[in-house]
Chain A
Protein backbone atom coordinates (compact mmCIF):
# COMPACT_ATOMS: atom_id res chain seq x y z
CA UNK A 1 0.00 0.00 0.00
CA UNK A 2 1.25 3.50 -0.83
CA UNK A 3 1.44 5.16 2.60
CA UNK A 4 3.74 7.91 3.93
CA UNK A 5 5.63 5.18 5.80
CA UNK A 6 6.22 3.12 2.66
CA UNK A 7 7.62 6.11 0.78
CA UNK A 8 9.86 6.93 3.76
CA UNK A 9 11.33 3.44 3.75
CA UNK A 10 12.33 3.71 0.12
CA UNK A 11 13.74 7.23 0.22
CA UNK A 12 17.58 7.45 0.20
CA UNK A 13 17.61 10.29 2.73
CA UNK A 14 16.22 7.96 5.41
CA UNK A 15 18.09 4.85 4.32
CA UNK A 16 19.41 2.89 7.30
CA UNK A 17 16.96 4.18 9.89
CA UNK A 18 15.37 1.59 12.15
CA UNK A 19 11.70 0.63 11.62
CA UNK A 20 10.91 2.26 14.96
CA UNK A 21 12.44 5.56 13.89
CA UNK A 22 10.74 5.41 10.50
CA UNK A 23 7.46 4.84 12.27
CA UNK A 24 8.03 7.91 14.48
CA UNK A 25 8.90 10.05 11.45
CA UNK A 26 5.86 8.68 9.65
CA UNK A 27 3.65 10.36 12.22
CA UNK A 28 4.67 13.78 10.90
CA UNK A 29 4.67 12.79 7.24
CA UNK A 30 2.10 13.28 4.52
CA UNK A 31 2.04 12.49 0.80
CA UNK A 32 1.80 15.52 -1.46
CA UNK A 33 1.51 15.97 -5.23
CA UNK A 34 2.34 19.06 -7.28
CA UNK A 35 1.32 19.68 -10.87
CA UNK A 36 3.85 21.06 -13.34
CA UNK A 37 4.24 24.78 -12.64
CA UNK A 38 2.80 24.59 -9.13
CA UNK A 39 4.84 26.15 -6.33
CA UNK A 40 5.88 24.00 -3.39
CA UNK A 41 6.68 27.20 -1.54
CA UNK A 42 7.65 30.79 -2.18
CA UNK A 43 10.25 33.15 -0.80
CA UNK A 44 9.43 34.61 2.62
CA UNK A 45 6.82 31.98 3.41
CA UNK A 46 7.29 30.04 6.62
CA UNK A 47 9.54 27.01 6.10
CA UNK A 48 7.02 24.62 7.60
CA UNK A 49 7.78 21.51 5.54
CA UNK A 50 10.78 19.44 4.60
CA UNK A 51 10.26 17.56 1.35
CA UNK A 52 11.54 14.16 0.32
CA UNK A 53 11.03 13.91 -3.43
CA UNK A 54 9.75 10.54 -4.59
CA UNK A 55 9.11 11.34 -8.23
CA UNK A 56 9.41 14.28 -10.62
CA UNK A 57 11.58 17.37 -10.64
CA UNK A 58 11.55 20.62 -8.68
CA UNK A 59 13.28 23.85 -9.69
CA UNK A 60 14.71 26.06 -6.96
CA UNK A 61 14.40 29.64 -8.17
CA UNK A 62 15.47 33.10 -7.20
CA UNK A 63 13.28 35.88 -8.50
CA UNK A 64 15.02 38.97 -9.79
CA UNK A 65 13.07 41.99 -10.87
CA UNK A 66 13.31 42.65 -14.62
CA UNK A 67 15.00 39.26 -15.18
CA UNK A 68 12.26 37.11 -13.69
CA UNK A 69 12.91 33.74 -12.07
CA UNK A 70 16.37 32.19 -12.38
CA UNK A 71 16.65 28.48 -11.69
CA UNK A 72 19.71 27.83 -9.57
CA UNK A 73 19.19 24.13 -8.97
CA UNK A 74 16.86 21.29 -9.81
CA UNK A 75 16.15 18.38 -7.51
CA UNK A 76 14.67 15.05 -8.46
CA UNK A 77 13.74 11.60 -7.28
CA UNK A 78 15.59 10.52 -4.16
CA UNK A 79 16.65 14.03 -3.18
CA UNK A 80 15.52 16.25 -0.32
CA UNK A 81 14.40 19.86 -0.41
CA UNK A 82 14.38 22.30 2.46
CA UNK A 83 17.64 22.97 4.18
CA UNK A 84 16.46 25.96 6.16
CA UNK A 85 14.50 24.37 8.92
CA UNK A 86 17.21 24.99 11.49
CA UNK A 87 17.87 28.53 10.35
CA UNK A 88 15.80 31.12 12.21
CA UNK A 89 13.39 32.70 11.41
CA UNK A 90 12.50 29.58 9.41
CA UNK A 91 11.48 31.39 6.23
CA UNK A 92 12.24 30.27 2.71
CA UNK A 93 14.88 32.32 0.91
CA UNK A 94 13.78 31.24 -2.56
CA UNK A 95 10.91 29.74 -4.55
CA UNK A 96 10.47 26.06 -5.37
CA UNK A 97 8.34 25.08 -8.32
CA UNK A 98 7.48 21.68 -9.79
CA UNK A 99 8.93 21.39 -13.30
CA UNK A 100 6.82 18.32 -13.94
CA UNK A 101 4.28 16.33 -11.98
CA UNK A 102 6.04 15.77 -8.67
CA UNK A 103 5.23 13.43 -5.83
CA UNK A 104 6.86 13.99 -2.48
CA UNK A 105 6.64 13.22 1.20
CA UNK A 106 6.23 16.36 3.25
CA UNK A 107 7.56 16.25 6.81
CA UNK A 108 6.20 18.77 9.26
CA UNK A 109 9.25 20.66 10.48
CA UNK A 110 7.95 21.61 13.94
CA UNK A 111 6.95 18.03 14.67
CA UNK A 112 10.26 16.81 13.31
CA UNK A 113 12.23 19.18 15.53
CA UNK A 114 10.13 18.12 18.50
CA UNK A 115 10.80 14.41 18.00
CA UNK A 116 14.51 15.14 17.52
CA UNK A 117 14.49 16.82 20.95
CA UNK A 118 12.61 13.90 22.48
CA UNK A 119 14.67 11.12 20.94
CA UNK A 120 18.32 12.13 20.65
CA UNK A 121 19.30 8.91 18.92
CA UNK A 122 16.84 9.66 16.14
CA UNK A 123 17.82 13.32 16.26
CA UNK A 124 21.48 12.46 15.72
CA UNK A 125 20.63 10.06 12.89
CA UNK A 126 18.66 12.81 11.16
CA UNK A 127 21.32 15.43 11.82
CA UNK A 128 23.97 13.23 10.22
CA UNK A 129 21.84 13.03 7.06
CA UNK A 130 21.02 16.72 7.24
CA UNK A 131 24.72 17.57 7.66
CA UNK A 132 25.64 15.42 4.68
CA UNK A 133 22.96 17.14 2.61
CA UNK A 134 24.30 20.55 3.61
CA UNK A 135 27.83 19.47 2.72
CA UNK A 136 26.67 18.42 -0.75
CA UNK A 137 24.78 21.69 -1.16
CA UNK A 138 27.85 23.64 -0.10
CA UNK A 139 29.99 21.77 -2.65
CA UNK A 140 27.49 22.34 -5.44
CA UNK A 141 27.12 26.04 -4.71
CA UNK A 142 30.88 26.47 -4.44
CA UNK A 143 31.29 24.93 -7.89
CA UNK A 144 28.54 27.12 -9.33
CA UNK A 145 30.15 30.22 -7.83
CA UNK A 146 33.49 29.23 -9.34
CA UNK A 147 31.87 29.72 -12.78
CA UNK A 148 33.96 26.85 -14.06
CA UNK A 149 32.94 27.32 -17.68
CA UNK A 150 34.13 30.93 -17.71
Chain B
Protein backbone atom coordinates (compact mmCIF):
# COMPACT_ATOMS: atom_id res chain seq x y z
CA UNK B 1 0.00 0.00 0.00
CA UNK B 2 2.95 2.33 0.63
CA UNK B 3 3.66 2.41 -3.10
CA UNK B 4 3.09 6.00 -4.21
CA UNK B 5 1.89 6.46 -7.80
CA UNK B 6 4.89 6.99 -10.04
CA UNK B 7 5.09 9.87 -12.47
CA UNK B 8 4.05 8.67 -15.91
CA UNK B 9 7.36 9.17 -17.81
CA UNK B 10 9.26 6.96 -15.38
CA UNK B 11 6.60 4.25 -15.73
CA UNK B 12 7.04 4.35 -19.49
CA UNK B 13 10.81 4.15 -19.18
CA UNK B 14 10.44 1.24 -16.77
CA UNK B 15 8.00 -0.55 -19.07
CA UNK B 16 10.33 -0.08 -22.03
CA UNK B 17 13.22 -1.36 -19.95
CA UNK B 18 11.23 -4.43 -18.93
CA UNK B 19 10.27 -5.14 -22.53
CA UNK B 20 13.87 -4.84 -23.71
CA UNK B 21 14.98 -7.12 -20.89
CA UNK B 22 12.44 -9.77 -21.89
CA UNK B 23 13.46 -9.44 -25.55
CA UNK B 24 17.14 -9.85 -24.62
CA UNK B 25 16.27 -12.88 -22.52
CA UNK B 26 14.35 -14.50 -25.38
CA UNK B 27 17.24 -13.88 -27.78
CA UNK B 28 19.68 -15.34 -25.26
CA UNK B 29 17.57 -18.49 -24.84
CA UNK B 30 17.22 -18.75 -28.61
CA UNK B 31 20.97 -18.41 -29.10
CA UNK B 32 21.52 -20.99 -26.32
CA UNK B 33 19.09 -23.40 -27.98
CA UNK B 34 20.91 -22.90 -31.27
CA UNK B 35 24.26 -23.61 -29.61
CA UNK B 36 22.81 -26.80 -28.10
CA UNK B 37 20.84 -28.19 -31.09
CA UNK B 38 22.70 -26.65 -34.00
CA UNK B 39 21.78 -25.92 -37.60
CA UNK B 40 19.78 -29.11 -38.06
CA UNK B 41 16.98 -27.96 -35.71
CA UNK B 42 16.93 -24.20 -35.52
CA UNK B 43 18.75 -21.32 -37.15
CA UNK B 44 20.52 -18.68 -35.12
CA UNK B 45 18.82 -15.35 -34.39
CA UNK B 46 21.17 -13.43 -36.67
CA UNK B 47 20.79 -15.89 -39.57
CA UNK B 48 17.04 -15.89 -39.10
CA UNK B 49 16.79 -12.12 -39.26
CA UNK B 50 18.92 -11.96 -42.39
CA UNK B 51 16.82 -14.68 -43.99
CA UNK B 52 13.53 -13.17 -42.82
CA UNK B 53 14.47 -9.78 -44.27
CA UNK B 54 15.15 -11.47 -47.60
CA UNK B 55 11.87 -13.34 -47.34
CA UNK B 56 9.89 -10.18 -46.65
CA UNK B 57 11.19 -8.58 -49.86
CA UNK B 58 10.40 -11.70 -51.88
CA UNK B 59 7.04 -11.68 -53.71
CA UNK B 60 6.05 -15.39 -53.33
CA UNK B 61 6.24 -15.04 -49.55
CA UNK B 62 3.54 -12.39 -49.69
CA UNK B 63 1.29 -14.70 -51.70
CA UNK B 64 1.52 -17.18 -48.88
CA UNK B 65 1.04 -14.48 -46.25
CA UNK B 66 -1.99 -13.17 -48.13
CA UNK B 67 -3.48 -16.67 -48.28
CA UNK B 68 -3.07 -17.04 -44.51
CA UNK B 69 -4.41 -13.57 -43.79
CA UNK B 70 -7.45 -14.17 -45.98
CA UNK B 71 -8.25 -17.49 -44.30
CA UNK B 72 -7.60 -15.89 -40.93
CA UNK B 73 -9.86 -12.94 -41.73
CA UNK B 74 -12.72 -15.27 -42.77
CA UNK B 75 -12.21 -17.48 -39.72
CA UNK B 76 -12.04 -14.54 -37.34
CA UNK B 77 -15.13 -12.92 -38.85
CA UNK B 78 -17.08 -16.16 -38.51
CA UNK B 79 -15.76 -16.85 -34.99
CA UNK B 80 -16.64 -13.35 -33.88
CA UNK B 81 -20.07 -13.09 -35.50
CA UNK B 82 -21.28 -16.61 -34.73
CA UNK B 83 -19.59 -16.64 -31.32
CA UNK B 84 -21.19 -13.39 -30.22
CA UNK B 85 -24.60 -14.39 -31.61
CA UNK B 86 -24.54 -17.81 -29.93
CA UNK B 87 -23.19 -16.33 -26.70
CA UNK B 88 -25.98 -13.77 -26.59
CA UNK B 89 -28.61 -16.40 -27.32
CA UNK B 90 -27.31 -18.82 -24.70
CA UNK B 91 -26.87 -16.04 -22.16
CA UNK B 92 -30.41 -14.79 -22.62
CA UNK B 93 -31.98 -18.26 -22.61
CA UNK B 94 -30.70 -19.11 -19.19
CA UNK B 95 -31.66 -22.78 -19.28
CA UNK B 96 -30.03 -23.37 -22.65
CA UNK B 97 -26.97 -21.53 -21.37
CA UNK B 98 -26.78 -23.66 -18.23
CA UNK B 99 -26.91 -26.80 -20.37
CA UNK B 100 -24.49 -25.54 -23.01
CA UNK B 101 -21.82 -24.01 -20.80
CA UNK B 102 -20.26 -27.22 -19.40
CA UNK B 103 -20.46 -28.80 -22.85
CA UNK B 104 -18.62 -25.85 -24.37
CA UNK B 105 -15.99 -25.93 -21.66
CA UNK B 106 -15.39 -29.64 -22.40
CA UNK B 107 -15.21 -28.95 -26.14
CA UNK B 108 -12.77 -26.14 -25.42
CA UNK B 109 -10.39 -28.55 -23.69
CA UNK B 110 -10.45 -31.20 -26.45
CA UNK B 111 -7.25 -31.17 -28.50
CA UNK B 112 -8.95 -30.16 -31.70
CA UNK B 113 -6.24 -31.65 -33.92
CA UNK B 114 -7.96 -34.97 -33.23
CA UNK B 115 -10.97 -33.68 -35.14
CA UNK B 116 -8.85 -32.89 -38.15
CA UNK B 117 -9.55 -36.05 -40.19
CA UNK B 118 -13.27 -35.39 -39.85
CA UNK B 119 -12.85 -31.75 -40.85
CA UNK B 120 -10.88 -32.78 -43.91
CA UNK B 121 -13.53 -35.24 -45.02
CA UNK B 122 -16.24 -32.65 -44.55
CA UNK B 123 -14.50 -29.61 -46.00
CA UNK B 124 -11.86 -31.09 -48.28
CA UNK B 125 -8.42 -29.59 -48.84
CA UNK B 126 -7.86 -25.88 -49.11
CA UNK B 127 -9.47 -22.69 -47.96
CA UNK B 128 -12.67 -23.98 -46.39
CA UNK B 129 -10.85 -26.53 -44.22
CA UNK B 130 -8.41 -23.88 -43.00
CA UNK B 131 -11.24 -21.52 -42.15
CA UNK B 132 -13.25 -24.25 -40.45
CA UNK B 133 -10.26 -25.23 -38.39
CA UNK B 134 -9.68 -21.63 -37.35
CA UNK B 135 -13.33 -21.29 -36.40
CA UNK B 136 -13.50 -24.37 -34.18
CA UNK B 137 -10.52 -23.04 -32.26
CA UNK B 138 -11.58 -19.44 -32.03
CA UNK B 139 -15.34 -19.52 -31.65
CA UNK B 140 -15.71 -21.29 -28.31
CA UNK B 141 -13.90 -18.70 -26.18
CA UNK B 142 -15.93 -15.94 -27.85
CA UNK B 143 -19.16 -17.82 -27.00
CA UNK B 144 -18.06 -18.44 -23.41
CA UNK B 145 -16.98 -14.85 -22.73
CA UNK B 146 -20.16 -13.46 -24.28
CA UNK B 147 -22.38 -15.92 -22.41
CA UNK B 148 -20.76 -15.05 -19.07
CA UNK B 149 -21.01 -11.34 -19.80
CA UNK B 150 -24.75 -11.60 -20.51
CA UNK B 151 -25.36 -13.70 -17.40
CA UNK B 152 -23.53 -11.14 -15.26
CA UNK B 153 -25.45 -8.06 -16.39
CA UNK B 154 -26.97 -6.44 -13.28
CA UNK B 155 -30.73 -7.19 -13.45
CA UNK B 156 -31.47 -3.56 -12.54
CA UNK B 157 -30.15 -2.44 -15.93
CA UNK B 158 -32.70 -4.63 -17.70
CA UNK B 159 -35.43 -3.38 -15.35
CA UNK B 160 -34.33 0.14 -16.23
CA UNK B 161 -34.67 -0.69 -19.92
CA UNK B 162 -38.25 -1.75 -19.26
CA UNK B 163 -38.92 1.30 -17.12
CA UNK B 164 -37.68 3.45 -20.02
CA UNK B 165 -40.21 1.69 -22.27
CA UNK B 166 -37.54 0.20 -24.51
CA UNK B 167 -38.62 -2.39 -27.03
CA UNK B 168 -36.71 -5.71 -27.00
CA UNK B 169 -34.57 -4.77 -30.00
CA UNK B 170 -33.72 -1.38 -28.48
CA UNK B 171 -32.83 -3.09 -25.20
CA UNK B 172 -30.47 -5.39 -27.10
CA UNK B 173 -28.72 -2.60 -29.01
CA UNK B 174 -28.65 0.20 -26.44
CA UNK B 175 -28.35 -1.63 -23.10
CA UNK B 176 -27.31 -5.24 -23.57
CA UNK B 177 -24.67 -4.67 -26.22
CA UNK B 178 -22.73 -1.91 -24.45
CA UNK B 179 -23.05 -3.70 -21.09
CA UNK B 180 -21.38 -6.83 -22.45
CA UNK B 181 -18.89 -5.09 -24.77
CA UNK B 182 -15.79 -5.16 -22.52
CA UNK B 183 -16.11 -8.89 -21.86
CA UNK B 184 -16.71 -9.56 -25.54
CA UNK B 185 -13.54 -7.67 -26.44
CA UNK B 186 -11.65 -9.88 -24.00
CA UNK B 187 -13.28 -12.90 -25.66
CA UNK B 188 -12.25 -11.65 -29.10
CA UNK B 189 -8.70 -11.18 -27.94
CA UNK B 190 -8.51 -14.78 -26.77
CA UNK B 191 -10.44 -15.89 -29.87
CA UNK B 192 -8.00 -14.03 -32.10
CA UNK B 193 -4.98 -15.96 -30.85
CA UNK B 194 -6.74 -19.32 -31.07
CA UNK B 195 -8.18 -18.63 -34.52
CA UNK B 196 -4.69 -17.86 -35.81
CA UNK B 197 -3.45 -21.07 -34.23
CA UNK B 198 -6.26 -23.04 -35.87
CA UNK B 199 -5.68 -21.56 -39.32
CA UNK B 200 -1.94 -22.25 -39.18
CA UNK B 201 -2.47 -25.84 -38.05
CA UNK B 202 -5.00 -26.21 -40.86
CA UNK B 203 -2.44 -24.97 -43.36
CA UNK B 204 0.20 -27.30 -42.05
CA UNK B 205 -1.86 -30.39 -42.71
CA UNK B 206 -4.07 -29.67 -45.67
CA UNK B 207 -2.91 -26.86 -47.86
CA UNK B 208 -0.46 -25.92 -50.59
CA UNK B 209 -0.46 -22.27 -49.63
CA UNK B 210 -0.09 -20.11 -46.58
CA UNK B 211 2.45 -19.55 -43.81
CA UNK B 212 1.52 -22.83 -42.12
CA UNK B 213 2.32 -24.59 -45.38
CA UNK B 214 5.68 -22.77 -45.57
CA UNK B 215 6.54 -24.02 -42.10
CA UNK B 216 5.58 -27.64 -42.76
CA UNK B 217 7.23 -27.49 -46.18
CA UNK B 218 10.38 -26.16 -44.55
CA UNK B 219 10.31 -29.11 -42.13
CA UNK B 220 9.77 -31.63 -44.93
CA UNK B 221 12.53 -30.23 -47.13
CA UNK B 222 14.72 -29.66 -44.12
CA UNK B 223 14.91 -25.92 -44.70
CA UNK B 224 15.52 -24.94 -41.08
CA UNK B 225 16.04 -21.25 -41.87
CA UNK B 226 12.63 -21.13 -43.53
CA UNK B 227 10.72 -22.75 -40.62
CA UNK B 228 12.42 -20.58 -38.04
CA UNK B 229 11.98 -17.35 -39.99
CA UNK B 230 8.28 -17.92 -40.76
CA UNK B 231 7.60 -18.91 -37.17
CA UNK B 232 9.27 -15.73 -35.96
CA UNK B 233 7.27 -13.60 -38.41
CA UNK B 234 4.02 -15.19 -37.23
CA UNK B 235 4.98 -14.65 -33.59
CA UNK B 236 5.83 -10.98 -34.17
CA UNK B 237 2.51 -10.44 -35.98
CA UNK B 238 0.55 -12.17 -33.20
CA UNK B 239 2.33 -10.27 -30.42
CA UNK B 240 1.64 -6.93 -32.07
CA UNK B 241 -2.03 -7.54 -32.76
CA UNK B 242 -2.54 -9.05 -29.32
CA UNK B 243 -0.83 -6.05 -27.76
CA UNK B 244 -3.13 -3.68 -29.65
CA UNK B 245 -6.20 -5.64 -28.57
CA UNK B 246 -4.97 -5.77 -24.98
CA UNK B 247 -4.62 -1.98 -25.03
CA UNK B 248 -8.18 -1.65 -26.36
CA UNK B 249 -9.38 -4.18 -23.79
CA UNK B 250 -7.79 -2.22 -20.93
CA UNK B 251 -9.15 1.04 -22.23
CA UNK B 252 -12.72 -0.22 -22.40
CA UNK B 253 -12.51 -1.80 -18.95
CA UNK B 254 -10.74 1.21 -17.50
CA UNK B 255 -13.42 3.73 -18.43
CA UNK B 256 -15.85 2.00 -16.10
CA UNK B 257 -13.61 0.37 -13.51
- A and B from one assembly? no
